Amino acid sequence: MTTLLFIAAAYLLGSLSFAVIVSRAMGLPDPRSFGSGNPGATNVLRTGRKAAAALTLLGDALKGWLAVVLARTLAPQFGLDEGGVLLCALAVFIGHLFPLFFRFQGGKGVATALGVLVGLNPWLGLACLATWMTMALLFRISSLSALVTALLAPLYAGLLMGWGDAATAVLVIALLLVYRHKSNLIKLVNGEEARIGKRS
């Protein structure tokens, strides 16, 4: 029962879509109504409001990190094992993809996934961040950067944390992230994918 409560709390935390929250607070259009239609930092950046995009990125990453760190910190007190912590990591990520508070219309999960990975292992998060930034600097395409990072994340997890449950959880997150980018894959193949910072 305790594990289920932790998982539910992590999911609800993940359901806080900061792209929508920040946009409403700053008087910007709903990010689901323009550009890619994705409630994420990259789409918010298309409004030209860098501060809004930065707050979105920070909020979405922070909730992923917070869910994992809180679960791990409180685990001894509430009898939560490492498997329960990993389930919380998955729950906060799924909450972002399919948020209860926003009609299950969530983002693609890049920032939240990064927060989760930092929470699981800071070196894992740093390796993924470095991969994303390298790809973004080279190609200026957010989705391509995310997809390459997602493909490498399980490998990094296995090398840094062993080929056990943690690597499996990272693999699930990576597969979900790739699935959420299926439309971007089509655009990439057709050469139609927008570049970072391009306004809608």
Residues 152 and 173: their CA atoms lie apart, in Å, by 12
- pLDDT value of position 199: 56
Over its length of 200 residues, how does the chain's per-residue pLDDT go in tens digits? 899 999 999 999 999 999 999 999 999 888 988 877 889 888 898 888 899 999 999 999 999 999 999 999 999 999 999 999 999 999 999 999 999 998 898 999 999 999 999 999 999 999 999 999 999 999 999 899 999 999 999 999 999 999 999 999 999 999 999 999 999 999 999 988 878 756 55
Any residues with CB less than 8 A from the CB of 14 and at least 6 apart, and which?
A: 63, 64, 67, 91, 92, 93, 94, 95, 96, 99, 112
Residue type, 197: G
Sign of the CA dihedral running 175, 118, 86, 95? negative
- pLDDT value of position 172: 98
